[in-house]
Amino acid sequence: MKTTFKTFGVALVAAFAVTTAAAAETIKIGFNAPLTGFAAADGKSARTGAELAVEQINSAGGVNGKMLELVVYDDQASPKESVPIANRLIEKDHVKIGISGSYSGATRAAAGVYQSAGVPYISAYAVHPDITRAGNYVFRTSFVGEVQGRAGAKLIGDTLGKKKVSVITLKNDFGKSLAAGFREAAGRFGIQVLNEYEYSIKDRQFGPIVSKVKADNPDAIYASGYFFTAGPLVSQLRAAGITAPIIGQEGYDSEKFIEIAGAASEGTIITTSLDRDSQAPETKDFIMSFEKKAGFKADMVAASGHTAVKVAAAALAKAGDRDPAAIRDAIAATTVTASTGTISFNKLGEVRKDVQVQVVKGGSWHRHSVISDAALLAPPEQ
């Protein structure tokens, strides 16, 4: 008896779901992000940023009179999950555009699926260079690792004028591509790399590396990582009495970094995409609305999720939601000012925008400088 009622209930709910879906026609945007697993924190932040963008667009009347709908699946930052999710989003949910709020491994695998289905795919913040090489339907609104690594070299060698550098590299595609870009540009700014150390994403204790860096006695330290590795790393470097400036990247870009490293985080400088002290209305409004919605402060990942949806919406507004090829062309031709700056794409689908340099001052992120050297920051063309 009980089961019969349950079945009846399920059928009823399903029927309602179908009718409501039919009643209000929406434009679906697919979204894969790690909502569980080690990267869940970033996934949640990116999703909240994307949801905020959808709410903002819908409350302003939607796109060409239709509401946007974000269809979200948890990919656990794993290619094993992201491929079936991409298939599902395309085949079952019939999304017009896919967005990745996930890491490189998952994004790279899904990019191939979108490309062969001919559905545009935007990577919000994954860094691996091969992602956009999947084909002409794949775009990226964040910097590839190499570009950010080159920006780091300019920041250290030119802006800060430090020449002897120890490099600490996170051993994954993010850290390695950053280090490659850094080494490539180091010579141009007179930087001498004293030593390079590698650590794994699971490491939280850096005692041996800290001791060795101390013996190197560098002018500056270029260390890649995410807030959960960088927080312990920076606090351990400072506790060992090392006072050289520490330069990180967008992986540090979270309030959580400051919380973990505490007082040791003061003065840490990073290259990233979100300028907390921006006077641009898009950025200011985003920072305020995000904190209100999420209950915690905006970070780079959140801003990137937000930006990717804004790019998608701008393309849909221009090309309509019927023809995937037209939507692709519209994304390729986009120039949108969003929370992470003014976005346009090169012919590979890589973003062109300025690098924001932020510093921890008085326990929160603030503007340090902006790097807008178009030649240095040129993303790969093929």
Q: Which is nearer to another protein, 150 or 238 (CB)?
A: 238
**Measured from the CB of residue 217, what is the shortest distance to another protein in angstroms?**
12
CA–CA separation, 188 and 136 (whole Å): 32
**Measured from the CB of residue 31, what is the shortest distance to another protein in angstroms?**
17
Residue with tokens 């209930």: 9
DSSP H or E segment with residue 164: strand 164-170
The arrangement of strands across the sheet holding 269-272 comes to: 192-199, 164-170, 220-223, 246-248, 269-272, 355-361, 364-371
**Measured from the CB of residue 260, what is the shortest distance to another protein in angstroms?**
5
Q: Which is nearer to another protein, 125 or 137 (CB)?
A: 125
Q: Which is nearer to another protein, 189 or 252 (CB)?
A: 252
Amino acid (one-letter) located at 372 = S
**Measured from the CB of residue 106, what is the shortest distance to another protein in angstroms?**
16
Q: What does R_g of the chain's alpha carbons equal in angstroms?
A: 21
Q: How many helices (H) and strands (E) does the chain have?
A: 12, 15
Q: Which is nearer to another protein, 239 or 325 (CB)?
A: 239
Q: Which is nearer to another protein, 210 or 269 (CB)?
A: 210
**Measured from the CB of residue 232, what is the shortest distance to another protein in angstroms?**
4
**Measured from the CB of residue 83, what is the shortest distance to another protein in angstroms?**
23
Give yes or no for a contact between 373 and 154, defined as CB atoms under 8 angstroms apart: yes
| Listed residue (153, 106, 109, 152) closest to 125, CA to CA | 106
Query: 92-105 burial by CB neighbour count: b if 16+ within 10 A, else e?
Result: ebebbbbbbbbbbb
List contacts with another protein (CB under 8 A).
36, 38, 40-41, 44, 171, 197-200, 202-205, 207-212, 214-215, 228, 231-232, 235-236, 239-241, 256, 259-262
Q: Which is nearer to another protein, 7 or 364 (CB)?
A: 364
CA of residue 294 relative to chain centroid, distance: 17
Amino acid (one-letter) located at 311 = V
